[in-house]
Chain A
Amino acid sequence: MMSLMKPDMQMDVSFYKVEEIRHLTDETFSLKLPRARFAFKAGQHISLGIVGGNQSREYSIYSGENDENLELLIKEVDNGYFTPRLRKLKAGSMVEVHGPFGKFGMEPELAANGKFVFIASGTGIAPFRSIVHTYPGIDYRIIHGVRYSKEAYDREEYAADRYTLCTSRDKGGNYNGRLTGYLKSCTFDPETHFDLCGNSNMIFDALEILKDKGFDRDQIHCEVYF
């Protein structure tokens, strides 16, 4: 027979108070929350909602597994519904975080022994910052495609010889043009693991280039952003 008692009220562990909003460009900011209350693998994503709102979106985690803060990298979408609301959040605002989700997570054994090329467009760099924070000794290169050089988010955190910025609309990058143009000119060790994160068009083009270079699809992992 059912109990008539109401279920115990519990504090929702998915609620987080925003600690800081770090503005990186006019459109892009990082949302700093308290340390994650869940274990995650660098590269995974979460679902983010605003407490009291009725929508949520998925974001890759921008911070490392052991960082003091759970951090997310967000770009405001023109005429969007959700990101303009996120942008209005202040320190102290409440958000709701569920997760972690996804198979785009770095395995510790692989991080210790593998050679990686991270290919990102725009805010698609988020999971790779999480990986580099978590595994500072990892053997990696980042190829980051953006429109303007000011979008090289937290570039100073990566060793200069490991980070290649490709800018398509100004001359401030290491390569001036789309990242796919740069990728075509690159040579990589045959054992390289490729991790791609960004919009579906970039991923499609990059996949084709890598396959043309003879890399097996199983060496390439993708996280599509929308």
Chain B
Amino acid sequence: MTTNDKKSVAFKTLGCRLNQYETDALVTDFSNAGYELVDYNASPDVVIINTCTVTNQSDTKSRSVISQSVRKAKNAVVVVTGCMANNFKAKLESQENITFVVENNRKSSILSLIDAHFSGEIVHPDQLPQDVFRYEPVHKSLHTRSAVKIQDGCDNFCTFCIIPMVRGMAASRPVADVLESVRKTVENGFKEIVITGVNIGRYEDGRVRFEELLAKILEVPGDFRVRISSLEPDGFGDDFVKLFAHPKLMPHLHLCLQSGSDKTLLRMRRMYDVAQFRKTVNKFRSAYPGFNFTTDIIVGFPGETDEEFQQTLDAIKEFNFSHIHTFKYSVRKGTRAERLENHLPEKIKSERSLKVRDLSVENMKRYFESFIGQTQNVLIERISEGTASGYGENYIPVHFKLPGAQKNMIIKVKLTGLVGEDEDMFFLGEIVGE
């Protein structure tokens, strides 16, 4: 509790960029309403936990964070929201130490719920309005970059995925709202905007599809750059590739391959095959050498043979992903993959996961080494003991000395060396000019 009757609020966020964005938007809401943002160790009046349920591991982490928060903030109003709130609503509601469980589609109204609570009103979260796009543009943020949400939900029904059940079906934010949100976010001082959603490639508002929307976003006046969060590798054409010639659009895509085996991809019910993925990667790399691709890989999907897994390793080498989010397949109740035959033992999944990680590190090193001697414009996100750090255009991490450095500055840096081990590798750099 803080002084002068000013209420305090702490946030904990798990999972994807979309969750991070939604937390940032809530931070803005609470900040504008006069709440003080504090760490959850500082006895806040309100703790908001934005959970994830995409894998078993996410569930475990979310449960652990909820337990810790409840333990540390004994007298706080505890709000659990996010995908776990959808997936395990009844169970969470039965926990006495959780005050409110708020589903994703009502998350944007949590401030009204808390205001009502402190005013003595009895409001159930199910009475909150349902609107997945009601978020204000981010002003006060936990991050240097700000996301802008353009889309929510997914109806691809990949066989492994719980997201359609917890985020609902695909919905697109109206173009005018998106552009207004971008404008305001830029006015609020952000230099880098991350376009986010659950399946943003499926954006469709009338005749405006994702690439047309992106073109409009790039034309918003202001000194800012644009990144795209993760993207499904289907449904876009040559015009999308051409957009990356725009100086505001950063040369990096997190393009989710999931498997290098066509058979596995079909069992996953993915909408592309490896040859189509290859075509996309080659188009980008022939237009923009050095373009950075990162990806998600699921290992140990039901029925994945040694040969199919080897095809995944081959694809990872071929596409030279500089970073891979590796997921050991875990059953999500209610998905079609739950009902597939030949679920693999944990031991095989772990062995395969390690192989992918090793390859990912090799790729990262090779990709990073190709940048030594080059320059990158780095957005400063952290400053520690006179060393600034952040990411360059290609989403590569750079550390450099800069007296008087401030977060949110973009600095031109020459990459002089590579330090660190495994996935913690980063560049050392020298300033070329601001």
Interface residues, chain A, with chain B CB atoms under 8 Å away: 1-4, 6-7, 55, 58, 98, 101-103, 200-201, 203-204, 207, 217-218, 222, 224, 226
With a cutoff of 8 Å between Cβ atoms, the chain B residues found around residue A1 in the complex are 112, 115-116, 119, 121
B157 and A101 form a contact (CB under 8 A): yes
Verify if B155 is at the interface (C-beta below 8 Å from A). yes
In the complex, per-residue mask of B406-426: 1 if CB is within 8 Å of any chain A CB, else 0: 000000000000000000000
CB distance from A98 to the nearest CB of B (A): 7
Interface residue B276 (Cβ < 8 Å from any Cβ of A): yes
* Given A2-B128, A204-B263, A224-B266; 7 other pairs, CB 8 A cutoff: A1-B112, A2-B115, A2-B121, A2-B123, A101-B169, A200-B263, A222-B266
Partner of A58, one of B157, B266, B267: B157
Name the distance in Å between A54's Cβ and chain B's nearest Cβ.
9
Is there an interface contact between B271 and A103, defined as CB atoms closer than 8 Å?
yes
| Centre residue among B116, B123, B157 by max chain A CB count within 10 A | B157
Is B340 in the interface zone, CB < 8 Å from A? yes
Asked if A226 contacts B169 (CB within 8 A), the reply is no
Complex interface: chain B residues within 8 A of A6 (CB): 127
Residues of B within 8 A of A222 (CB): 266
Interface residue? B366 (CB, 8 A): no
Neighbour of A203 across the interface among B112, B266, B276, CB < 8 A: B266
9 nearest A-B pairs in the assembled complex, by CB-CB distance: A200-B266, A101-B155, A2-B116, A2-B123, A226-B336, A224-B269, A200-B267, A2-B112, A204-B263
Q: How far is the CA of A98 from the CA of B164 in the complex (A)?
A: 12
Partner of B127, one of A2, A98, A201, A224: A2
Secondary structure type dominating chain B contacts: loop
Chain A residues within 8 Å of B266, by CB: 200, 203-204, 222, 224
Bound Cα distance A207, B266 (Å): 11
User: Considering only CB atoms, which chain B residue lies closest to A221 in the complex?
Assistant: B271
Candidates A4, A98, A207, A224; contact of B121 at CB < 8 Å: A4
- Bound-state Cα–Cα, A10 to B260, Å: 47
Q: Is B113 in contact with chain A by the CB < 8 A criterion?
A: yes
Known: A4-B123, A224-B266. A217 touches B275 (CB 8 A): yes
> Residue on A with the closest CB to B267?
A200
Query: Is B330 an interface residue, CB under 8 A from the partner?
Result: no
Residue pair A226, B339 in contact (C-beta under 8 Å):
yes
Determine if A2 and B169 form an interchain contact, defined as CB atoms under 8 angstroms apart: no
19 residue pairs A–B, Cβ–Cβ below 8 Å: A1-B115, A1-B119, A2-B121, A3-B127, A4-B123, A6-B127, A7-B127, A101-B169, A102-B157, A103-B235, A103-B271, A204-B266, A207-B273, A217-B276, A222-B266, A224-B269, A226-B159, A226-B339, A226-B340
* Chain B residues, CB < 8 A from A207: 262, 273
B234-280 interface with A by 8 A CB criterion: 235, 262-263, 266-267, 269, 271, 273, 275-276
Residues of chain B contacted by A98 (CB below 8 angstroms): 169
CB distance from A143 to the nearest CB of B (A): 18
B263 neighbours in A (Cβ, 8 Å): 200-201, 204
B373 at the interface (CB under 8 A from A): no
- Asked if residues B155 and A102 are in contact (CB atoms below 8 Å), the reply is yes
Docked complex Cα distance between A7 and B128 (Å): 9
- A84 to B121 Cα, complex, angstroms: 47
> Which residue of chain B is the closest to A6 with respect to CB atoms?
B127
Contacts of B123 in A (CB 8 A): 2, 4
Partner of A217, one of B115, B273, B340: B273
Bound complex: CA of A98 vs CA of B336, how far in Å? 17
Give the residue name and chain of the A residue nearest to B123 (CB): A2
In the complex the two chains form, what is the Cα distance from A45 to B411 in whole Å?
Answer: 50
* B128 / chain A contacts, CB cutoff of 8 Å: 2
Q: Name the distance in Å between A137's Cβ and chain B's nearest Cβ.
A: 27
B262 touching A204 by the CB < 8 A rule? yes
A203 and B264 alpha carbons, distance in the complex (Å): 12
Q: Please, which residues of chain B bring their CB within 8 A of the CB of A218?
A: 276
Complexed CA–CA distance, A226 and B302 (Å): 13
CA distance A169 to B271 in the complex (A): 31
Residues of A within 8 A of B222 (CB): none
**Which residue, A1, A7, A207, A224, has most C-beta atoms of chain B within 10 A?**
A224
**For residue B121, which residues in chain A have a CB less than 8 angstroms away from its CB?**
1-2, 4
Q: Which of B68-120 contact A (CB under 8 A)?
A: 112-113, 115-116, 119
**In the complex, A58→B269 CA distance in Å?**
13
B334 and A55 form a contact (CB under 8 A): yes
Closest B-chain residue to A200, C-beta based? B266
Within 8 A of A (CB), among B152-195: 155, 157, 159, 169
A102 cross-chain contacts in B, Cβ below 8 A:
155, 157
B398 to chain A, nearest CB (A): 39
Of residues 357 to 404 in B, which have CB atoms within 8 Å of A's CB atoms? none
Name the A residues within 8 Å of B336 (CB-CB): 226
In the bound complex, residues from chain B placing their C-beta under 8 Å from that of A2 are 112-113, 115-116, 121, 123, 127-128
Which single residue of chain A is at the shortest CB-CB distance from B340?
Answer: A226
Chain B positions within 8 Å of A55 at CB level: 334
| Minimum C-beta distance from A207 to chain B (A) | 7
A222–chain B nearest beta-carbon distance, Å: 7
Contacting residues, chain B, for A200 (C-beta < 8 A)? 263, 266-267, 269
B255 to chain A, nearest CB (A): 17
Closest to B276 in A: A217
CA distance A119 to B169 in the complex (A): 28
The CA-CA distance from A200 to B263 in the complex, in Å, is 7
Tell me the smallest distance from the CB of B335 to a CB of chain A, in Å.
10
Report the separation of the CA atoms of residues A7 and B125 in the bound assembly, to the nearest whole angstrom.
12
